[in-house]
Structure 1
Amino acid sequence: MDTAGYMQEIVKELQRSAGQIAPGEAEQFAELLQRSGKIFVAGAGRSGLMGKAFAMRLMHAGRDAYVVGETVTPGIAPGDVLVLGSGSGETKSLVAMAEKAKAIGAAVAAVTIAPDSSIGRLADLIVKLPGSPKDQSTGNYSTIQPMASLFEQTMLLFYDAVILRLMEQTGQTTTNMYGKHANLE
């Protein structure tokens, strides 16, 4: 298969994945973000990169959004929400963040393949995304892509769809969002 063929297969996989996301979970997630104070986003590895992209778009949409671990990230407080993207739901550093956020009184939202995971059990809201876990040794997966690529790509599409929903709810347009785009580049 050539590169174009692989791209077409990836798009087919994403189409199937998008169709497996529960609309109610997605809508509850958007509602939680809408009524929250500050929004904190975290993930490890490529999932973390998808989270950073989401935090940036939240900021463009006028929300107080932060990436956990950055030097300018404030403390979390009651009324805030911590969004954790983790395929396995077992990443130790993210579990610790969820525990701390819960102890402070903030909400925790998990975007994961594994709702029954440690993070899933701590979460106030879970959005289950389809995708293949990193460990594909069991043979229980249906993707041509390596490791957790399908999950990470589905996560980015999900996050972008949530942004569109928030834009719709708040009357935001791409034009207004450009006003918050970085201009020191």
Structure 2
Amino acid sequence: MDTQRYAEVIVKELQASVSGLNAAEGEALAELLLRSGQIFVAGAGRSGLMGRAFAMRLMHAGQSAYVVGETSTPGIGPGDVLVLGSGSGETRGLVAMAEKAKATGASVVLVTTAADSALGRLADYTVKLPGAPKEQSGGAYTTIQPMASLFEQTLLLFYDAVILRIMELTGQTGSQMFGKHANLE
């Protein structure tokens, strides 16, 4: 199979995955983020990269959003929210992070395929995404892609959909958001 055919299969997998999104969970997350104080975003590996993209768009939308681990990220506290992207919901470093955030009085949101996980039990709010697990030992979703690629792609699409909803709720346009884009590049 050539790269074009692989890309077509990936798009079909994404269409199937996105069709399983829960609109009410996305709506609730957008509203929660708009009511929160500071927003902190984290994930490990490729899920973390999707989170970085989400934090960037949140900032463009006028939210106080930070990527956990950056040198300019402030402390978290009451009224703030930590958004974690984790397919397994078991990543040890993220579990420790969630415990610390909760100890400060912040809320924890988990976006995952595994709501019944260590992070799922800690989270104040969980969004369950469809998708294949890293180790494909069954489940409703199968994929030709390695490891958690389908989850990570669905995670980015979900995050972008939340941004579009936030834009709609706040009356923002892409042009307005572009005014907050980095200009030292």
Note the alpha carbon deviations across 1:79-105, whole angstroms, 9 max, x for none.
000000000000001001111111111
CA deviation map 1:40-72 (0-9, x unaligned): 000000000000000000001110000000000
Asked if 1:61 corresponds to 2:83, the answer is no
Specify the alignment match of 2:117 in structure 1.
117
Runs of 5+ in structure 2 lacking a partner?
A: none
Offset at residue 133 of structure 1 (A): 1.5
Matching residue of 1:180 = 180
* CA–CA separation in structure 2 for the residues paired with 1:164 and 1:6: 28
**Aligned-CA RMSD value:** 0.9
TM-score by length of 1: 0.97
Aligned to 1:34: 34
Note the C-alpha offset of 1:149: 0.1
The corresponding residue for 1:147 is: 147
Match of 2:3 in 1: 3
Following superposition, the deviation at residue 139 of structure 1 comes to 4.5
Which blocks of at least 5 consecutive residues in structure 1 are unaligned? none
Alignment of 1:84-95 (within 5 A): 84-95=84-95
Q: Residue 21 of structure 1: CA displacement?
A: 1.3
Which residue of 1 is the match for residue 164 of structure 2? 164
Deviations 1:6-62 (A, max 9, x none): 111111111111111111111111111010000000000000000000000000111
Inter-partner Cα distance in structure 2 for 1:21 and 1:178: 28
Moved more, 48-57 or 3-12: 3-12
C-alpha separation in 1, matches of 2:34 and 2:181: 21
Q: How many residue pairs get matched?
A: 184
Q: Distance in 1 between matches of 2:31 and 2:106?
A: 15
Structure 1: 4+ residue segments shifted above 6 A? none
Report deviation, 1:183: 0.5
What residue is the counterpart of 2:43 in the other structure? 43
Length-normalised TM-score, structure 2: 0.97
